[in-house]
Structure 1
Amino acid sequence: MNFRKYKQYPIVQNLQREWPNKQINQAPIYCSVDLRDGNQALINPLGIEDKLEYFNTLVKMGFKQIEVSYPSASNTDFNFTRKLIEENLVPDDVSIQVLIPAKKEWIKKSVEAMEGVNNGIFHLYNPTNEFQRRVVFKKSDEEIIQMAVDSMEYLIELTKNFKGNITYQYSPESFSQTNLEFALKICNKVIDIVNPTLKNKMIINLPNTLEDCMPNIYADRIEWMSKNLKNRQALILSVHPHNDRGTSVASAELAVLAGAQKVEGTLFGNGERAGNLDLINFAFNIYSQGIDPKINLSIVDKVKKMYEEKTQLKVNPRHPFVGDMIFTAFSGGHQDAIKKGIDFYRQNKSKEWNVPYLLIDPKDIKRGYEDVIRVNSQSGKGGVSFIISEFFGDNLNNKQLKEFGLMVKEFSDKNQKELVKKEIIDLYKQYKMK
Structure 2
Amino acid sequence: MLTTRPRGTNDILPDEAIKWQYLEKIIREICEQYGYEEIRTPIFEHTELFYRGVGETTDIVEKEMYTFTDRSDRSLTLRPEGTAPVVRAFLEHKLYSGPQPTKLYYVGPMFRYGRPQAGRFRQFHQFGIEVFGSRDPAVDAEVIGLAMDFYERLGLRDLELNINSVGCPQCRPRHRLELQGYLKPHAEKLCPTCRNRFERNPLRIFDCKNTGCQELVEQAPTITGSLCNECNEHFQRVKKYLDTIGVQYVVNEKMVRGLDYYTNTAFEIIAKGIGAQSSIGGGGRYDGLVEACGGPSIPGIGFGLGLERILLAMEQQGVQVPKEEEAKVFVAVLGEKAKETGLRLAFKLRKKGVAAEIDYLDRSLKAQMKAADRYGARFTVIIGEQELEQNKAVVRNMITGEQEEAALEAVEELLLKRLN
TM range (shorter): under 0.3
Q: TM-score, normalised by structure 2?
A: 0.23
Structure with greater Cα Rg: 2
Q: TM-score, normalised by structure 1?
A: 0.23
